[in-house]
């Protein structure tokens, strides 16, 4: 048995890439199980694939990674189809709604919805909660929670439990808790007072049950429990619905300012299962919610924004769930039995912050960037990465070959990268490219990197069971061999350098991207005006009479930034260059 923890990093619009990775991973596991079943009566020496088991035990996520985790967990209860780049656009359009990963990240989340001035779905029509319209994310999460309801020719529940999914499957979604969780640490001294702290890097635990009697092997009292399939039996505890799980995911993906904060509520006693280790055997420090007048039996209400603000790569959450609080995952190739796979679309070399003197605005922006970067910095993530041959941590990141034959990695390989990773929302072809790049990168990872030596008998069994099995170019046995359709090479999707025209409406839309941005800017200005009292509005009346000119001025500035950012990736051409 080899256990997997998936850790899904923050994405913004690159969620399409992570969705593609997950889509191919599940397809590969399905096809491998089919091949094992076909060879079940063969002697070991006649088998073409290894006979060990691989099981996904936990998925941790931050921001868009949490959304991907929740969508995948719901989809695993059903036999959804996989979307391949070899399919023609019509087939993808038809099958897309049946694959919730593709449906959400490629077909649903688009600038047309984010710039829509009408927000009737959320019921907030006047107050300015965010710069973008959050309704596409609301609708998308609702569609995922309701899946497969509303899908033409609905997909059926899986006929039998997926053997590569743990029972239960645990989700760990990071949250940036603006309210905070109080802790108090005592110090020696004459006053006898305590030093109080607030922790804002929060997370929520969800367990999804797919079969059996619903009795977990290990009890996590602070977990929300949900039925992953229509026939699943869920044990007692904090039982919830997929709509609540979707709300947690949406809170984790609530990009600050771009989308509104999300108010959540959970039992206060959940936090007593989130102690902080003092270290060096000094014990644990537990939350002190009672200092805020919140008893353990009460509900704790808090406000959340993007979980990636404080923890954008929640590797440690997945690692700790796999190994346990006081244990570790063996990392030697001959002994490894568990591993965390980090899916981070943007893993690449870091760029330096400013080194010259800055004005107030620039210094403030640099400070925010430094806060975020340092909050995401974890020395633990570097300890094993510094050693060769580590098999308890793996990385999947974006990689492709550029037009000049150069190797591009991280953000450089993605259409989603420009505009602070919002660029993917500008055009479905951008998201198609990144989705299929995720599938292609995952295939290569499984073929060449996700492997162990045959000498690891804890996973593969005695040497007699692995003799004659195919090895990869590193001389090792793939942990998830490629079979059936998963063995068909995933071809690169064309780089959509000419897909976007900011000034012309694309098929099926009545307005251009420039027009959409103009409409949203005008709506934001209108709502800003509404935020003031009547006397203040009177003073601002002259300015509002010029709202149209102001909106046009802001729109042109935004479009200039969009064009410049897209040009860095070769994604935008002026009309005379087309």
Is the Cα dihedral 225, 226, 227, 233 positive or negative? positive
Distance of CA 461 to CAs 334, 464, 472, Å?
A: 12, 8, 18
Cβ partners under 8 Å of residue 265, min gap 6? 299, 300, 301, 302
CB 21 within 8 A of CB 357: no
Question: What SS3 class is residue 451?
Answer: strand
Sheet strands (E) in 337-474: 338-343, 393-396, 399-401, 407-409, 451-452
What local confidence, expressed as pLDDT, does residue 379 receive? 42
What local confidence, expressed as pLDDT, does residue 384 receive? 46
What is the tens place of the pLDDT at every residue in 451-502? 999 999 899 888 878 888 899 999 999 999 999 999 999 999 999 998 888 8
Cβ partners under 8 Å of residue 387, min gap 6? 331
Sheet strands (E) in 141-273: 165-186, 194-209, 224-227, 238-239, 262-267
What local confidence, expressed as pLDDT, does residue 129 receive? 84
* Residue 468 CB neighbour total at 10 angstroms: 11
Residue 190 CA from chain centroid, whole number: 49
Sheet strands (E) in 212-334: 224-227, 238-239, 262-267, 276-277, 284-285, 299-305
CB 59 within 8 A of CB 72: yes
What local confidence, expressed as pLDDT, does residue 25 receive? 99
Element (H, E) at 477: strand 477-478
Burial of 139: CB neighbours in 10 Å, binned 0-12, 13-18, 19+ = middle
Q: How far apart are CA 172 and CA 249, in angstroms?
A: 10
Q: How far apart are CA 456 and CA 24, in angstroms?
A: 26
Backbone angles phi, psi at 532, to 5 degrees: -90, 160
Question: What SS3 class is residue 230?
Answer: coil
Give the pLDDT of the chain (578 residues) as one tens digit per residue. 999 999 999 889 999 999 999 999 999 999 999 999 998 888 888 889 999 999 999 999 999 999 999 999 999 999 999 999 999 999 999 999 999 999 999 999 999 999 998 876 555 566 788 899 999 999 988 888 999 988 877 789 998 889 999 999 999 999 999 999 998 877 666 566 677 889 999 999 999 999 866 566 566 889 999 999 888 888 877 789 999 999 999 999 998 888 999 999 999 999 988 887 766 556 788 888 988 999 989 999 999 999 888 877 688 899 989 988 667 888 888 888 999 999 999 887 566 777 777 777 677 767 766 766 665 555 445 444 445 578 889 999 999 998 888 999 999 999 999 998 999 999 999 999 999 999 999 999 999 999 999 999 899 888 878 888 899 999 999 999 999 999 999 999 999 998 888 888 776 676 889 999 999 998 888 887 676 665 655 555 655 566 778 888 899 999 999 999 999 899 986 655 55
What local confidence, expressed as pLDDT, does residue 548 receive? 77
Q: What is the DSSP string of 54-110?
A: EEEEEEEE-THHHHHHHHHHHHTTB------TTS-HHHHHHHGGGSHHHIIIIII--
Element (H, E) at 2: strand 2-8
Q: What is the DSSP string of 237-251?
A: SEE--HHHHHHHHHH
């Amino acid at each position: 048995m080899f256990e997997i923890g998936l850790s899904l990093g923050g994405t913004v619009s690159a969620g399409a890439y992570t969705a593609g990775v997950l889509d191919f991973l599940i397809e590969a596991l399905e096809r491998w199980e089919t091949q094992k079943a076909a060879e079940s009566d063969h002697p070991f020496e006649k088998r073409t694939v290894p006979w060990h088991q691989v099981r996904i035990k936990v998925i941790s996520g931050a921001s868009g990674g949490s959304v991907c985790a929740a969508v995948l967990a719901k989809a695993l209860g059903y036999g959804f189809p996989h979307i391949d780049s070899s399919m023609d656009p019509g087939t993808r359009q038809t099958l897309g709604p049946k694959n919730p990963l593709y449906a959400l990240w490629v077909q649903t989340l688009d600038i047309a919805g984010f710039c829509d001035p009408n927000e009737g779905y959320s019921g907030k029509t006047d107050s300015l909660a965010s710069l973008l319209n959050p309704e596409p994310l609301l609708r998308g999460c609702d569609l995922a929670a309701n899946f497969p309801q509303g899908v033409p020719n609905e997909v059926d529940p899986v006929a039998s439990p997926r053997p590569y999914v743990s029972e239960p499957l645990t989700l760990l979604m990071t949250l940036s808790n603006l309210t905070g969780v109080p802790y108090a640490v005592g110090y020696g001294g004459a006053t006898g007072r305590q030093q109080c702290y607030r922790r804002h890097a929060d997370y929520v635990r969800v367990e999804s049950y797919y079969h059996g009697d619903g009795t977990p092997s290990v009890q996590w009292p602070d977990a929300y429990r949900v039925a992953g399939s229509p026939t699943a039996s869920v044990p007692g505890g904090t039982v919830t619905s997929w709509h609540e799980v979707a709300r947690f995911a949406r809170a984790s993906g609530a990009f600050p300012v771009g989308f509104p904060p999300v108010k959540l509520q959970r039992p206060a006693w959940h936090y007593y299962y989130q102690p902080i280790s003092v270290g060096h055997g000094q014990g644990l420090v537990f939350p002190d919610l009672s200092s805020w007048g919140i008893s353990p039996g009460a509900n704790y209400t808090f406000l959340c924004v993007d979980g990636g603000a404080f923890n954008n790569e929640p590797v440690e959450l997945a690692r700790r769930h796999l190994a346990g609080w006081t244990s570790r995952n063996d990392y030697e190739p001959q002994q490894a039995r568990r591993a965390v796979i980090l899916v981070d679309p943007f893993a690449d070399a870091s760029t330096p912050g400013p080194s010259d003197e800055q004005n107030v605005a620039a210094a403030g922006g640099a400070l925010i960037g430094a806060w975020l970067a340092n909050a995401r910095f974890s020395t633990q993530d570097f300890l094993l990465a510094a050693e060769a041959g580590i098999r308890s941590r793996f990385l999947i990141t974006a990689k492709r070959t550029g037009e000049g034959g150069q190797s591009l990695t991280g953000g450089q390989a993605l259409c989603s990268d420009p505009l602070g990773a919002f660029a993917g929302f500008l055009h479905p072809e951008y998201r198609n490219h990144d989705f299929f790049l995720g599938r292609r990168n995952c295939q290569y990872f499984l073929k060449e990197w996700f492997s162990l030596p045959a000498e690891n008998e804890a996973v593969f069994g005695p040497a007699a069971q692995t003799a004659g099995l195919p090895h990869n170019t590193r001389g090792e046995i793939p942990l998830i061999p490629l079979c059936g359709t998963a063995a068909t090479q995933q071809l690169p999707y064309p780089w959509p350098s000419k897909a976007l025209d900011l000034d012309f409406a694309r098929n099926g839309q009545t307005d251009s991207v420039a027009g959409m941005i103009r409409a949203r800017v005008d709506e934001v200005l209108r709502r800003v005006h509404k935020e003031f009292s009547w006397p203040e509005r009177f003073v601002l009346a002259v300015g509002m009479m010029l709202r149209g000119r102001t909106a046009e001025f802001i729109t042109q500035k935004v479009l200039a930034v969009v064009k410049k950012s897209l040009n860095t990736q070769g994604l935008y051409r002026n009309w005379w260059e087309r």
